[in-house]
Structure 1
Amino acid sequence: MSDYPNPLIEQRADPHIYLHSDGTYYFIASVPEYDRLEIRHSQTLIGLVDAPATVIWRKPDSGPMSALIWAPELHSIDGQWVIYYAAAPSQQIVEGLFQHRMYALVCDGQDPLSDVWQEKGRILTPIDSFSLDATYFQHQGKHYYLWAQKDPAIEGNSNLYLSELTNPWTLKTRPVMLSKPEFFWETKGFSVNEGPAFIDHGDRVFITYSASATDENYCIGLLYADKASNLLDPASWQKFTQPLFTTHRLNQQFGPGHNSFTRNEQGEDVLVYHARSDSTIEGDPLYDPNRHTRIKKFSWNAENMPVFGEPAADNQPLISHSAE
């Protein structure tokens, strides 16, 4: 049984739900056409299902941001709205990789759906290489930028990197690598660590991430560190040797991943992710539109570690929700 419909929103991959300080939920995700950024908002999680999508930006016809708009996230940072996203100059694959780089949009107004957005351009990192899936978090008064990127010196498609920020679109410190694909479940189809998300609980901080190819092999792994530690020291982080959330064939849920976190109206922690309900995919799974946004409440065990359980089957009945 589930407190929410499953899927929550169909054909929206890489979902991000941001709970603003005024209690409004904002939803942004990759659209199947990979050509635009759109936002929904609601006073309740369930209200996002029927909320209209407002397009706030479309890709240009040419240039470095003209193709494959992936994995946007919406944040409010020091009173300024920021959208992080990845874009490529074309759909061309070079040496086995797309050519994505990371970009930012900012909005100084109060309403991210109606006020003006400005392009801040590419977020520069020391290595000019495939990079994507940026997220943001604030911890102990510092602003952090967390993302996935290819290092040509390291085997695999992408690793996880962390840096402190000067402002929302400028790195302040040299990036440190927190994780690379090394276990079998991180290297099925492709060697991938991507889609990181941050959450804190008790005396620890946590980073979830997605691993392997975006088909049924996709899954979620976990890093954790003491809350008081230096997050920019890779030695502060420990890594689970097994995935935390994986394909569940009995429930017909395949490739759960690229998660984010939010809280419901009762203040309970909620996992936001996408998964498929069919493992039969023709061609590149990235061009199959049937990665659907799903959410589920999760808990913490006695050791203050997250317990995600299993991805629930489609079409679970809606038990209860707050009225919109």
Structure 2
Amino acid sequence: MIKHALPRALAVLGLALAAGAGSAAAVEFDNPLLPQRADPHVQLQADGNYYFTATAPEYDRIELRRTRDLNALRSAETKVVWRKHAAGPMSHHIWAPELHRIGGKWYIYFSAGRADAHWDIRPYVLENAADDPMTGEWKELGRIDTGWDSFSLDATIFEHRGRRYFVWVQCCRTPDEPMNTSIYMAEMRSPSAITGKTVLLTRPEYAWEKVKHAVNEAPAVLARNGKVFLTYSASATDANYALGMLTADAGADLLDPASWKKSPEPVFKSSAANSQYGPGHNSFTTTPDGKTDILVYHARSYRDIQGDPLYDPNRHTRAQVINWKADGSPDFGEPVPDRRKALD
């Protein structure tokens, strides 16, 4: 028995070391990185720059930031690349923009409602053919048709093994469906259109996903260690907001719901000890050398909120290093305490 146990133990140790190689305790962030920016999305591009987008507290514009150091995000080069319309589609609730590079062009995916119908929120996309996304013209390609004309938002995209996928949030596909948001996925035919079958990946099932509101939203994807991890946010946008996670084998059919295993517990949630509340709507990036994975998210530094939390502006952008478990899955730990005041 000992003869067989030793190689197995060494193998497990090797996996743990390999998975943990991406962790670097020396990497620290001056949280909050950017005050009053919710739904942060960060991508490290080939030019060595981080490109940052997020929801502005006024819900009225899309702002792009560029920096080589996430700790310098407050002083980063900044440009408003698009503003809401005065009326009609894309005239209210401008939420959750994401910048992506596809086929030599830049695309921004975002959600928007209407001034005359605030909750008629749908996903839209902008395109820019310039080499530098801070220049050039951002063209409106319009709404992305998900197949149902109902409340839909928080779109993200990712490529895996030569296929590009569109992942988004939708509810109320039929008049009798409950007012819950669920996460769907489909393959993309082009940067502005999906094709083929649409599959339901996750809907609110557990009690922690249904506090005040039954919500699964804000998907983000990370592929590592032979797995594909999809995080999402659940419950109301106050201190109950938390991250859940789905996991699939990298070689599985990602459009088969059976390929995904859902964690029954949140993988990242509020920490009263560290004064961090409602962490969620994350994205993933790495250190400039690509060796250390980073979780970028928003959270508040206080629990109690006056009025509707959706209109409390103090969801600040934060980041921390992702550690890795022996089985190759991410260990997000708990939100780290702030290193500086939000508005210093």
**TM-score relative to the length of structure 2:** 0.88
Relative to structure 1, the CA distance from residue 300 to residue 316 in structure 2 (aligned partners, 3 Å threshold; closer, same or farther) is farther
Provide the C-alpha distance between the structure 2 equivalents of 1:306 and 1:156, rounded to a whole number of angstroms: 31
Is the CA contact 1:186–1:212 (under 8 Å) kept in the aligned structure 2?
A: yes
Q: Does 1:69 align with 2:97?
A: no
Relative to structure 1, the CA distance from residue 91 to residue 281 in structure 2 (aligned partners, 3 Å threshold; closer, same or farther) is farther
1:22 is aligned, of 24, 43, 47, to 47
Per-residue CA deviation, residues 108-131 of structure 1 (Å, 9 max, x unaligned), is: 111111111100000001111100
Provide the C-alpha distance between the structure 1 equivalents of 2:161 and 2:120, rounded to a whole number of angstroms: 34
SS in 2 for 1:251: coil
2:183 is aligned, of 153, 160, 172, to 160
1:198 is aligned, of 221, 233, 243, to 221
Is the CA contact 2:231–2:245 (under 8 Å) kept in the aligned structure 1?
A: yes
**1:315 shift after superposition:** 2.3
Per-residue CA deviation, residues 235-280 of structure 1 (Å, 9 max, x unaligned), is: 1101000000001111111100000000012420000000001122
SS in 2 for 1:174: strand
**1:92 shift after superposition:** 4.6
Report what 2:209 is aligned to: 186
Provide the C-alpha distance between the structure 1 equivalents of 2:303 and 2:115, rounded to a whole number of angstroms: 28
Provide the C-alpha distance between the structure 2 equivalents of 1:175 and 1:79, rounded to a whole number of angstroms: 27
Is the CA contact 1:194–1:209 (under 8 Å) kept in the aligned structure 2?
A: yes
Is the CA contact 1:28–1:38 (under 8 Å) kept in the aligned structure 2?
A: yes
1:88 is aligned, of 105, 113, 126, to 113
Provide the C-alpha distance between the structure 2 equivalents of 1:92 and 1:299, rounded to a whole number of angstroms: 43
Report what 1:265 is aligned to: 288
Provide the C-alpha distance between the structure 1 equivalents of 2:99 and 2:217, rounded to a whole number of angstroms: 18
Report what 2:161 is aligned to: 140
Counterpart residue type for residue 157 of structure 1:
N
1:305 is aligned, of 325, 329, 333, to 329
Provide the C-alpha distance between the structure 1 equivalents of 2:197 and 2:308, rounded to a whole number of angstroms: 34
Report what 2:256 is aligned to: 233
Is the CA contact 1:101–1:132 (under 8 Å) kept in the aligned structure 2?
A: yes
Counterpart residue type for residue 44 of structure 1:
D
1:60 is aligned, of 61, 85, 88, to 85
Report what 1:294 is aligned to: 318
Provide the C-alpha distance between the structure 2 equivalents of 1:301 and 1:156, rounded to a whole number of angstroms: 36
**1:44 shift after superposition:** 2.2
Aligned-pair identity (%) = 49
Provide the C-alpha distance between the structure 2 equivalents of 1:155 and 1:304, rounded to a whole number of angstroms: 36
Q: Does 1:12 align with 2:37?
A: yes
Per-residue CA deviation, residues 202-233 of structure 1 (Å, 9 max, x unaligned), is: 11101000000001110000001010010001
Is the CA contact 2:33–2:70 (under 8 Å) kept in the aligned structure 1?
A: no
Structure 1 window deviating more from structure 2 (172-181 vs 210-219): it is: 172-181
Provide the C-alpha distance between the structure 1 equivalents of 2:116 and 2:193, rounded to a whole number of angstroms: 27
Provide the C-alpha distance between the structure 2 equivalents of 1:110 and 1:52, rounded to a whole number of angstroms: 16
Provide the C-alpha distance between the structure 2 equivalents of 1:219 and 1:266, rounded to a whole number of angstroms: 29
SS in 1 for 2:237: coil
Is the CA contact 1:134–1:146 (under 8 Å) kept in the aligned structure 2?
A: yes
Report what 2:151 is aligned to: 130
Q: Does 1:283 align with 2:307?
A: yes
SS in 2 for 1:53: strand
Provide the C-alpha distance between the structure 1 equivalents of 2:62 and 2:180, rounded to a whole number of angstroms: 25
Unaligned runs of 5+ in 2: 1-24
Provide the C-alpha distance between the structure 1 equivalents of 2:219 and 2:82, rounded to a whole number of angstroms: 24
Q: CA RMSD of the aligned region, Å?
A: 1.5
Counterpart residue type for residue 82 of structure 1:
Y
Unaligned runs of 5+ in 1: 318-324
Higher helix share: 2
Per-residue CA deviation, residues 146-178 of structure 1 (Å, 9 max, x unaligned), is: 111103454342100001001111011221100
Provide the C-alpha distance between the structure 2 equivalents of 1:256 and 1:160, rounded to a whole number of angstroms: 19
Per-residue CA deviation, residues 271-298 of structure 1 (Å, 9 max, x unaligned), is: 0000001122111111110000000001
Relative to structure 1, the CA distance from residue 202 to residue 154 in structure 2 (aligned partners, 3 Å threshold; closer, same or farther) is farther
Q: How many residues are treated as equivalent by the alignment?
A: 313
